[in-house]
């Protein structure tokens, strides 16, 4: 619920910035925030991306051949 309220307020402010100042960068930021806060089974897209970076890049993998 908190993410939805933040997204709604930010979308309203970005629409006002777009109409008054002709700047679309806040709208892009709101869309990115909206995408990153999509929840599925109590995991957000941002959490999934963190897990993927940790698994593929920052954590050493250990394999043992038998």
What is the SS3 assignment for 40? strand
What 3-state DSSP class applies to 49? helix
pLDDT tens digits, one per residue of 42-53: 899 999 999 999
Quick: pLDDT tens for 2-40: 889 999 999 999 999 999 999 999 999 999 999 999 898
Rounded Cα gap, residues 34 and 14, in angstroms? 13
Q: In residues, how long is the chain?
A: 66
């Amino acid at each position: 619920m908190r993410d939805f309220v933040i997204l709604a307020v930010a979308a309203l402010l970005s629409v006002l910035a777009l109409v008054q100042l002709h700047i679309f960068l806040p709208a892009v930021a709101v869309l990115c925030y909206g995408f990153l806060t999509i929840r599925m089974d109590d995991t957000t897209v941002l959490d999934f991306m963190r897990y993927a970076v940790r698994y593929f890049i920052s954590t050493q993998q250990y394999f043992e051949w038998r």
